[in-house]
Amino acid sequence: MNPLARLGIAARRGFGRVTPDPFVLASGLTMLTLVLALLFGEVDAGPTGFGVLELSFAWTGAGVWNLLAFSMQACVMLVLGTALAETPVFQRLIRGLVGLARTPRALVGLTAGVAVALGLVNWSLSLIGGALLAKAAGNRAREEGWSLHYPILCAAAYAGLMVWHGGLSGTAPLKVTNASDVAEVLGADLAGRVGVIPLDRTLFSSLNLVVSGGLLVMGPLLFMALTPPAGSDVQAMTAPAPRQGGVDDPADASDEGWIDRIESSAVFTRGLALMMFAGLGVFFVRRGVARLDLNTVNLTLWCLAMVLHRGPRQFLAACQRGIEGCAGILIQFPLYAGIMGLMKVSGLSVKLTALVAGAGANALAGLTFLSAGVVNLFVPSGGGQWAVQGPIIVEAALRAGVSPETVLMAMAYGDQWTNMLQPFWALPLLAITGVRARDIVGYTALWMLAGGAWMLGALLLTST
């Protein structure tokens, strides 16, 4: 067994012993943020005279409900992704893809490569596509009798969330391509000094092509190296067995009345899908793939699932199964919204970023990357981080003589970097694949270390 495979097993066991359930982690981070806000933040005692009460009020009143729209989007993505995965056509397609792999290592590398490539196109596409691929890959490994630890496939499927902010759905790079968005975040004065930053200076810059291209190559190679040879992992875990009987299996319709036949007719689902496809076509013509967002991804999943199921009855039955996995999203996303509210009200995010702003020109990009990684553990939102950190790091860059796009990309890399420790974005994947956060975090932590060294090294070389 090679040293990296041994390291992967050791990391899996070590993190598996100490990683709490995502809900426990979110609750602990909430209490930790409250304590840090009281100790280091600027807390107004308010009418009650007690800062802790005012923070609690801000948390419940202006915090926990701020991600309701996003929570619904994530749930819809999970439900429709599950419905699409259960269509016979999609199952045949994905089985064909995983059938290209002839060994367990190749199967893991394929999963990581697809997830990272999709992450460079769109983060949500990577999340749902990677999860579905991992599930199918796990079934392939079980059918072949391969000795393979199923969670490494799920960890590989999550790898795309460490490249997304340098891809076509990266929030910060897209937010500086027009004057109104720049002014919205940076303010009129700073925006006037910076101007718009086109994509050829961010996403299509030589820095990002090296960083993201390197991660695209590194991801599959690393996860393949972390995969032990067949038969050498004594704690190999197989994927859970799929449900018996697909939702599109022919049913006995001999005792159905005419209303039952109408309710099962594909005319309604496919007619509705046709209207949606027309709207999607207009979207891509007018805005292009670079502006692909979560609503568009969900609409695409919705269309495909309705077209590929036999009718409304089968489509709705598959959606019902997807709804079963939404509990974690509905309960935990509000907790992170509350954490974001506490960080903003107390000024903790601004203070952390301000500490970095005092660094010299050579260290600014690297420290921005590291600080963004820390902030992401508490504020797992690319747009939220750009709103908090953007004005401070851009002002610091101008004063230090560093190009604004360099610190912008440093923040983007830091934001995506610690996703590998933060289970917030992994919740839909965990629900689809049936694994726990503690099962995959050992592998994702190693991917974080390797990818982080690559990103930080590129930033430091660029800044010197």
CA distance 390 to 392: 6
Burial grade of 351 (CB within 10 A; 0-12, 13-18, 19 or more): middle
Mean pLDDT of 260-270: 75
Q: DSSP per residue over 268-292, as a string?
A: HHHHHHHHHHHHHHHHHHHH-GGG-
pLDDT in tens, 99-139: 999 999 999 999 999 999 989 988 877 888 899 899 999 99
The Cα 432–Cα 211 span in angstroms is 30
Q: Taking the CB of residue 177, how many other CB atoms lie within 10 A of it?
A: 17
DSSP character at residue 149: -
Residues 93 and 297: their CA atoms lie apart, in Å, by: 19
Query: Which of 208, 211, 212, 165 lies closest to 415, judged by CA?
Result: 165
Nearest to 394 by CA among 220, 194, 159: 194
Q: Flag the least confident range among 39-43, 136-140, 195-199, 300-304.
A: 39-43
| 81-97 residue pLDDT tens | 888 878 888 888 888 99
Residue 137: predicted pLDDT: 93
What tokens appear for 328 in the block?
Answer: 């974690």
For residue 373 the two structure tokens come to 């990684």
Angle, vertex CA 329, rays to CA 215 and CA 327, nearest 5: 135
Q: Which two tokens stand for residue 44?
A: 């107004």
Virtual torsion, Cα 209, 212, 217, 218, nearest 10 deg: 130
Q: How many CB atoms lie within 10 A of CB 189?
A: 10
205-258 residue pLDDT tens: 999 999 999 999 999 999 999 998 876 776 778 888 766 544 455 444 445 566
* Residue 24 burial by Cβ neighbours in a 10 Å radius (0-12, 13-18, 19+): exposed
Token pair belonging to 291: 């502006």
What single-letter DSSP state applies at residue 60? I
The whole-number pLDDT of residue 432 equals 86
Spell out the alpha helix ranges (H) of 227-347. 258-263, 266-287, 294-308, 312-323, 327-346
| Percent of the chain residues past pLDDT 70, beyond the cut | 91
**3-class DSSP state of 424:** coil
Q: pLDDT digit string (tens) for 180-213?
A: 888 888 888 888 999 989 889 999 999 999 999 9
Mean predicted confidence (pLDDT) in 396-401: 88
Average pLDDT, the chain: 84
C-alpha to C-alpha distance for 269 and 265, rounded to whole angstroms: 8
pLDDT at 409: 96
